Amino acid sequence: MKADIAFGQYYEGNSFLHRLDPRWKILFVIFYIVIIFLAKNIFSFALLILSAIFLTLISRIPLRTILRGLRPLVFIIFFTAIINIFWLKGDTVLVDWWIIHIYLEGLINALLIVVRVVILVAGTSILLTYTTTPIALTDGLERLLSPLAKIHLPVHEFSMMMTIALRFIPTLVEETEKIMNAQKARGADFSTGSLVRRAKALIPILIPLFISAFRRAEELATAMECRCYTGGKGRTRMNILHSSWRDVAALLALCALCAGVVLLNIFAPGYALAL
């Protein structure tokens, strides 16, 4: 099945994480990222790994789904690992052959960096994108930023833009496919020839797409006007976001994790990250 932007990576569920207030979740993710970058040695990293395992378990998302989400990162992970293994110098030599020198420090450093990248991506997607719909995210962001509207930043307009974009991207993707198929049926060729040729072949797709997008925008504006839309002023919302004990619990857990990482950094001696 086609990837569905409306739900993004959203994994339907009703877990503890799914039920957190999206406003808090956005803050939690930022906090979690900070904690990930605070970790400096193998003991604090071990604690991080435990936290990621814990997140995976309470999200009730199959491990397979999460690993699949990491697949696009394989190249980056591989690359950073190689660089660290071969370029970092240390005291304990493991391999010393021809021009290849591998040190234990380099190996551990590579390992820690790989762990950091994996937890960064897996952790944030479990906390946020797997367990929150893009709509809830947009909503949470609008309300988090709503104080900024007081200094005349267009917070509502931004969020309306996001909402409409989320609503229309699938429609436009579908339309692009339709136009491409129509052009292919007339003998258009999008996959062979030089780059210039292929770019040229896209023009007959982009022009009808743009024309139709503008028509859609005009019709949508009329429809919104008909539905009494006059901007953010005086507008209320059906769904109010509620913070609950879950958000408090999650906040406390993150604070504890942060304290643990900092303490382990200071008091547990071990191989420290060089980068």
Partner 1 sequence: MDTGNNTAKESEKQMSTIMKAEHISYSYPGDEEDRPVEALRDVSFSVEEGEFVAILGHNGCGKSTLAKILCMILQPGEGKLYIDGEDMTRDDITEEDINKGRRKVGMVFQNPDNQLVATIVEEDVAFGPENLGLAPEKIRRRVDWALETVGMTKYARHATHRLSGGQKQRVAIAGAIAMRRKCIIFDESTAMLDPHGRKEVMDTISRLNREEGITVIHITHYMNEATMADRVLVMQGGGIIMEGKPTEVFSRAQELWDAGLDVPQTTELLWYVRQAGYDVALDIFDPAACAAEIARVLKGTAHGRDNT
What is the DSSP code string of 193-256? S-HHHHHHHHHHHHHHHHHHHHHHHHHHHHHHHHTT---STT---SSPP---HHHHHHHHHHHH
Tell me: does residue 228 bind partner 1 (CB under 8 A): yes
Q: Which of 6, 53, 93, 256 binds partner 1 (CB under 8 A)?
A: 6
Residues 113-172 that bind partner 1 (CB under 8 A): 133-135, 163-164, 166-167, 170-171
Tell me: does residue 244 bind partner 1 (CB under 8 A): no
Backbone angles phi, psi at 103, to 5 degrees: -110, 155
Written as one letter, the residue type at 46 is A
Which residues make beta-bridge pairs with 272? Answer: 41
Question: What gap in Å lies between CA 232 and CA 158, rounded to an integer?
Answer: 11
Instruction: Find tokens 């002023």 and name the residue.
Output: 233
Q: Residue 90 or 170: which CB sits closer to partner 1?
A: 170
Instruction: Find tokens 């005009």 and name the residue.
Output: 218
Tell me: does residue 236 bind partner 1 (CB under 8 A): yes
Q: How far is the CB of 156 from partner 1 (least distance, A)?
A: 12
* Triad 233, 235, 237: Cα angle to 5°: 145
Q: Considering only 89-97, 107-115, 219-227, 260-268, which stretch makes contact with partner 1 by CB under 8 A?
A: 219-227
Q: Considering only 54-62, 98-106, 140-148, 211-219, which stretch makes contact with partner 1 by CB under 8 A?
A: 211-219
Q: Considering only 86-94, 99-107, 141-149, 237-245, which stretch makes contact with partner 1 by CB under 8 A?
A: 237-245
Q: Which of 67, 93, 224, 266 binds partner 1 (CB under 8 A)?
A: 224
Q: How far is the CB of 174 from partner 1 (least distance, A)?
A: 8
Tell me: does residue 1 bind partner 1 (CB under 8 A): no
Q: Which of 185, 194, 238, 269 binds partner 1 (CB under 8 A)?
A: 238
Tell me: does residue 211 bind partner 1 (CB under 8 A): no
DSSP assigned state of 92: S
Q: Which of 207, 219, 248, 249 binds partner 1 (CB under 8 A)?
A: 219
Tell me: does residue 240 bind partner 1 (CB under 8 A): yes
Question: What gap in Å lies between CA 56 and CA 58, rounded to an integer?
Answer: 6
In residues, how long is the chain?
Answer: 275
Residues 50-109 that bind partner 1 (CB under 8 A): none
CB 177 within 8 A of CB 183: no
- Residue 54: name the closest of 122, 111, 113, 117 by CA: 122
Which residues would be at the binding site for partner 1 (CB under 8 A)? 4, 6-7, 133-135, 163-164, 166-167, 170-171, 174, 215-216, 219-220, 222-230, 234-240
